[in-house]
């Protein structure tokens, strides 16, 4: 039987380029080559698309086993070579075209020869241009099956302002928040500060609406910090979301995460908990420093676990997600079973969550009884199912 041709798309122009390389390296190691013909498609930081050997050059060196990669996981060993220079993941140098193509004409010819056909694409991309619906739009135009959410689910899951509106419409509990436009902030900072302070108490979390990996996010404890925080967030996006901190001045929110898998009848995994090593789960706590902990299953009562799993499925549906999403929660701090029950709020959905074999999403499925390579199989099946289901639409009058 002909093997299914799977394109693994990775890299990309977002700030999460390196995280994507780590996720893709893990997928490549685990994907069942007996079932699939695997094709690499790499996107460089500046947006060039590469295939085959050129794409493989982008990946972390094959000598680094995925368990050595530190992508947000404290159990990973210092991993090293890959992250020792701080924020930079050391990847192989950009493919030197000149090595195998003497002239630009030869380069053109060689790229025409390497055009490829695939049956399904697994976009192992995170953040802007990968998780936000843009690349999904390209797949739709090309009528190709792909893993994960469609254009709408992806972009809704990327935009923290729109996502909160959808959660609110589904009556899902979310932290108190306001959304501010960059233009209003820049033209009338005093008035804007007044309206933020009228709506929310300090400390507040200030976020660019459309980013991930905690980039551009800060916790503001007073008016001075609020100004710096909004200036920073406004350098990343025209919309800025400001939220009241769960936990307030008393303590850090507990951070719960659930993996959801499926299309029209999605399933929820066991619940996991992240204990960041810093004041909040910022970029450094996620990827660079050791000490953040992942606890699976999260210490919760049975009723709380059920509640969180149901909320995860409701959030997945509210954003019209497909295939997969990791749904993240914030819970008031303190003992879960203490007299006053602790409130649980939805934080966000991540439609292309970190996907190394030691990242939360695959680990949650592992703990639920679905090992990593079978998870990849399921995601591919759901991609094909969704693509097939669309064939029921008619496009004529």
**Footprint on this chain of ligand ADP (rule: CB under 6 A):** 175, 205, 207, 212-214, 217, 243, 245-247, 253, 255, 276, 280-281, 328, 330, 347-348
Nearer Cβ to ligand ADP (6/358): 358
Nearer Cβ to ligand ADP (217/271): 217
Nearer Cβ to ligand ADP (31/346): 346
Those residues whose C-beta lies under 8 Å from the C-beta of residue 355, and which sit 6 or more positions away, are 23, 26, 27, 124, 361, 362
| Residue 9 dihedral angles phi and psi, to the nearest 5° | -105, 125
Q: Give me 242's structure tokens.
A: 């400001």
Q: How far is the CB of 266 from ligand ADP (least distance, A)?
A: 20
Residue-by-residue DSSP string for 130-198 = TTSSHHHHHHHHHT-EESS--HHHHHHHH-HHHHHHHHHHTT-----EEEEEHHHHHH-HHHHHHHHHH
Nearer Cβ to ligand ADP (39/207): 207
The dihedral sign for the CA sequence 183, 184, 187, 190: negative
Nearer Cβ to ligand ADP (121/253): 253
Q: How far is the CB of 158 from ligand ADP (least distance, A)?
A: 9
Q: Give me 227's structure tokens.
A: 């100004």
Q: How far is the CB of 310 from ligand ADP (least distance, A)?
A: 20
Nearer Cβ to ligand ADP (7/212): 212
Distance CA 65, CA 218 (A): 33
Q: H helices of 347-394, where?
A: 360-368, 372-390
Nearer Cβ to ligand ADP (132/328): 328
Distance CA 49, CA 43 (A): 5
Decide if 371 contacts 277 (C-beta within 8 A): no
Q: How far is the CB of 216 from ligand ADP (least distance, A)?
A: 8
Distance CA 132, CA 125 (A): 10
Q: How far is the CB of 311 from ligand ADP (least distance, A)?
A: 16
Distance CA 39, CA 141 (A): 20
Going by DSSP bridges, is the β-strand pair 239-244/204-208 parallel, antiparallel, or unpaired?
A: antiparallel
Nearer Cβ to ligand ADP (213/366): 213
Q: How far is the CB of 375 from ligand ADP (least distance, A)?
A: 22
Q: Give me 104's structure tokens.
A: 């630009």
Distance CA 154, CA 135 (A): 10
As a 3-state breakdown, the chain gives helix, strand, coil percent values, each rounded to 5, of: 35, 20, 40
Residue 359 burial by Cβ neighbours in a 10 Å radius (0-12, 13-18, 19+): buried
Q: How far is the CB of 128 from ligand ADP (least distance, A)?
A: 12
Nearer Cβ to ligand ADP (173/371): 173
Q: How far is the CB of 267 from ligand ADP (least distance, A)?
A: 23
Q: How far is the CB of 230 from ligand ADP (least distance, A)?
A: 15
């Amino acid at each position: 039987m002909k093997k299914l041709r799977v394109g693994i798309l990775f890299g990309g122009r977002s700030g999460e380029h390196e995280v994507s390389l780590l996720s893709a390296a893990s997928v490549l190691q685990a994907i069942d080559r007996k079932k699939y013909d695997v094709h690499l498609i790499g996107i460089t930081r500046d947006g060039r698309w590469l295939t085959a050997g050129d794409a493989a050059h982008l990946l972390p060196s094959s000598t680094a086993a995925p368990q050595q990669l530190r992508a947000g996981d404290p159990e990973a060993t210092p991993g090293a070579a890959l992250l020792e220079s701080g924020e930079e993941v050391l990847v192989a140098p950009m493919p030197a075209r000149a090595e195998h193509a003497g002239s630009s004409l030869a380069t053109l010819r060689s790229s025409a020869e390497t055009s490829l056909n695939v049956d399904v694409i697994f976009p192992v991309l995170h953040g802007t241009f990968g998780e936000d619906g843009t690349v999904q739009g390209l797949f739709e135009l090309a009528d190709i099956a792909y893993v994960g959410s469609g254009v709408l689910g992806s972009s809704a899951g990327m935009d923290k302002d729109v996502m909160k509106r959808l959660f609110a419409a589904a009556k899902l509990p979310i932290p108190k928040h306001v959304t501010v436009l960059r233009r209003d902030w820049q033209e009338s900072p005093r008035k804007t500060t007044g309206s933020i302070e009228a709506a929310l108490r300090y400390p507040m979390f200030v976020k660019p609406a459309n980013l991930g990996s905690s980039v551009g996010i800060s916790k503001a404890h007073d008016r001075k910090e609020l100004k710096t925080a909004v200036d920073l967030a406004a350098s990343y996006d025209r919309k800025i979301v400001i939220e009241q901190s769960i936990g307030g001045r008393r303590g850090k929110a507990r951070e719960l995460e659930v993996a959801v898998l499926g299309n029209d009848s999605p399933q929820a995994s066991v619940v996991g908990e992240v204990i960041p090593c810093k004041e909040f789960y910022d970029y450094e706590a996620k990827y660079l420093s050791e000490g953040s902990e992942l606890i699976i299953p999260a210490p919760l009562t049975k009723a709380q676990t059920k509640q969180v799993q149901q909320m995860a499925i409701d959030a997945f549906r509210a954003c019209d997600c497909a295939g997969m999403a990791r749904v993240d929660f914030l819970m008031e701090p303190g003992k879960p079973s203490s007299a006053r029950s602790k409130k649980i709020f939805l934080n966000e959905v991540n439609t292309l969550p970190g996907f190394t074999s030691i990242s939360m999403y695959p680990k949650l499925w592992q703990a639920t009884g679905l090992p990593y390579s079978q998870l990849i199989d399921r995601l591919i099946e759901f991609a094909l199912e969704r693509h097939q289901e669309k064939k029921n639409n008619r496009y004529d009058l």
